[in-house]
Homo-oligomer: A and B are copies of this chain.
Amino acid sequence: MYDYQVLFDFTQSVFEKMGLPAGEAQQAADILMRAELRNISTHGLVRLPEYVSLWQNKRITVTPKFTVVHETPSTALVDGGKGLGLVTAPKAMDIAIQKAMTVGTGWVAVRNSYHFGIAGYYAMKSLEHNMIGIAMTNANPLVAPTFSKYGMLGTNPIAVAIPAGEEPPFVADFATSPVSRGKVDVFESEGKETPGGLLQDARGNLTTNSSILRNGGALRTLGGDVAHGGHKGFCLTSVVDILSAVLPGANFGPTVVPTLGYVKDKTGAEDRGIGHFFGAMRIDAFQTADEFKAGMDEWIRAFRQAEPVEGQKRVIIPGDPERESEAIKLREGISLSKKSLDGLKRVAEIFKIAF
């Protein structure tokens, strides 16, 4: 078990050694540590070596020029100047929130950015402002569209955070693929097979081989085959790709220049980074915040108190497990996988800092 603050300080100092200004290094560390606390460790410290490697390969800059290219009262297009998503995304979300304060809603599309950690972090920034927050991003092409032989879309997560009154907020934060790439990595590192229906091999046939993503394989879409709605999963992941990448002019789907060594760069497209899309909606731009929050309390209680199927305790409200995990891990410490630990040790060596 590792103490939260110890890991936080280490992570911040790594970002500082990379050359990020102190405030931004702290922000970036906060995002990765929030993933650890929320038990989304696939988006936590295990990613730190990936960020370092992007920096070593000069794919990202640590002092990027953040530019608002175009805006209207409710929208903005941001160029992240090839900075880390962890630096660019919080600023973009803040613009969405500012615009929502003025005209009711704010929507910001970002290009020339990179992996931004957990989408939920940004969506949740809206909560203290009595706003609904939305965040999404595209990513390395690993998901095969319905009927496609190859991965062409990212696991493209969506997060939606919605304030409640007496109840804690509703926070949905999920890859639009049935499992995230990180989950498959975990199965692989534990020597386990991936459940059937989730992966296909390089010919497009179903497989349970957890190493298949390194060997030309791909994830299937949410839903699986057409009889089970897999084409709807394709629609959903596509919409995230288009709003996050085509709308701001980032690299979309198969043209994303991979940040994973084992994903082949098939199209040789110019690198305009990946893209994100953020939204903030003031709830009192619709009904009063008090009425809405009372309604959300009713919603949350109706579902939490629903009769469960045999063998299950209850219906789980999106956000509940992550919030409970935060409280426990802050108190009791954070456990790290072997892969995370090995990565942190490598990073510590690179920067000659203690771990």
Residues in B neighbouring A166, C-beta threshold 8 A: none
Complexed CA–CA distance, A109 and B295 (Å): 15
Residues in B neighbouring A174, C-beta threshold 8 A: 229, 231-232, 235
Nearest B residue to A255 via CB reads B302
- Additional pairs, 7, CB under 8 Å, beyond known A172-B238, A176-B232, A197-B228: A77-B287, A147-B314, A149-B306, A160-B235, A222-B223, A235-B318, A252-B298
Residues in B neighbouring A302, C-beta threshold 8 A: 152, 252-255
Complexed CA–CA distance, A73 and B295 (Å): 24
A295 touches B252 (CB 8 A): yes
Count how many chain A residues have C-beta atoms less than 8 Å from C-beta atoms of the other chain: 87
Task: Convert A244-264 into 0s and 1s, putting 1 for each residue whose CB lies closer than 8 angstroms to a CB of B.
Answer: 001111001111000000000
Complexed CA–CA distance, A169 and B103 (Å): 29
Residues in B neighbouring A285, C-beta threshold 8 A: 70, 72, 74-75, 107
**15 A-B pairs with C-beta separation under 8 A:** A69-B287, A75-B286, A104-B107, A105-B107, A109-B286, A145-B315, A148-B309, A150-B307, A152-B303, A172-B239, A195-B227, A231-B316, A242-B299, A247-B283, A247-B292
Interfacial residues, chain A to chain B (CB-CB below 8 A): 69-70, 72-75, 77, 103-105, 107, 109, 132, 145-150, 152, 160, 162, 170, 172, 174-179, 195, 197-198, 200, 203-205, 222-224, 227-229, 231-236, 238-239, 241-243, 246-249, 252-255, 281-283, 285-287, 291-292, 295-296, 298-299, 302-303, 306-310, 312-316, 318
Residues in B neighbouring A224, C-beta threshold 8 A: 223-224, 228
B286 touches A229 (CB 8 A): no
Complexed CA–CA distance, A303 and B253 (Å): 9
Complexed CA–CA distance, A72 and B280 (Å): 14
Say whether, besides A160-B239, A287-B70, A107 and B246 are in contact (CB < 8 Å): no
Residues in B neighbouring A177, C-beta threshold 8 A: 229
B238 touches A236 (CB 8 A): no
B287 touches A248 (CB 8 A): yes
Complexed CA–CA distance, A241 and B298 (Å): 13
Say whether, besides A147-B312, A307-B148, A318-B235, A70 and B255 are in contact (CB < 8 Å): no
Q: Which of B73, B179, B242, B309 contacts A74 (CB 8 A)?
A: B73
Complexed CA–CA distance, A314 and B146 (Å): 9
